[in-house]
Chain A
Amino acid sequence: DAKTTQPTSMDCAEGRAANLPCNHSTISGNEYVYWYRQIHSQGPQYIIHGLKNNETNEMASLIITEDRKSSTLILPHATLRDTAVYYCIVVVTGANSKLTFGKGITLSVRP
């Protein structure tokens, strides 16, 4: 069963913020939220992860709701190179943890 639910696709204009939503209503207390993206013909790339606090790095920001049932990945200034499939994954961190990829959301950045 899918642990996360994402829209199938969305688009945004170049230079604008892209806000990618993810629902994970059954998330457990020890599960993290991870985001990866896959640009066409490449392997997936790690973006960011968080447990309950909002996180920011050079690529993106991750906003997790207080009840942790949903999150939003924010690309502050989307470029054409950000066009990709974005995967939201919830996972327990540890030696036996495994990444299970859902269908993701296809982000298309238009000029």
Chain B
Amino acid sequence: SAVISQKPSRDICQRGTSLTIQCQVDSQVTMMFWYRQQPGQSLTLIATANQGSEATYESGFVIDKFPISRPNLTFSTLTVSNMSPEDSSIYLCSVRLRTDNTEAFFGQGTRLTVV
């Protein structure tokens, strides 16, 4: 298993500002992902955080809005840029330990409110 720590756990931000969310894993992991969960909705995959290279974004998500870093195998950040109230969501970090298995572990999430 993997223990995932996300910081901050929640924040209230002004529109037009940016917030960087950190994801720290207690062991080296193969794959890291970022999800968004809008109020009352299911999870939507934002991107795959690739170690040492640019993240792979899903349709509807772009690097300028959600820049992602992954400097090593245990850490990643997601920035929500130029925020608007529509960005109010829970952002979740997820990891997989193996490529032959789709068992994933999730952080507790960062609850973001944009005012």
Contacts and interface: CB of A to CB of B under 8 A. Distances in A.
Interface of A: 32, 34, 36, 42-46, 49, 87, 91, 93-95, 97-104
A44 B45 contact: no
Interface residues of B, number: 22
B48 interface: yes
Interface of B: 4, 31, 33, 35, 42-45, 48, 92, 94, 99-109
A34 B103 CA distance: 8
Given A43-B92, A94-B99, 18 more contacts: A43-B108, A44-B43, A44-B92, A44-B94, A46-B105, A49-B102, A87-B42, A93-B101, A93-B102, A94-B100, A95-B31, A95-B99, A97-B102, A98-B33, A98-B48, A99-B45, A99-B104, A103-B42
Given A99-B45, A103-B42, A43 B100 contact: no
29 contacts: A32-B102, A34-B102, A34-B103, A43-B4, A43-B94, A43-B106, A44-B43, A44-B92, A44-B94, A44-B104, A46-B103, A46-B104, A46-B105, A49-B102, A93-B101, A93-B102, A94-B99, A95-B99, A97-B102, A98-B45, A98-B48, A99-B45, A99-B94, A99-B102, A99-B104, A100-B45, A101-B44, A102-B42, A104-B42
- Chain B CB within 10 Å — which of A32, A87, A100 has the most? A100
A101 to B, nearest CB: 4
A100 B104 CA distance: 12
Given A98-B45, A102-B42, A44 B106 contact: yes
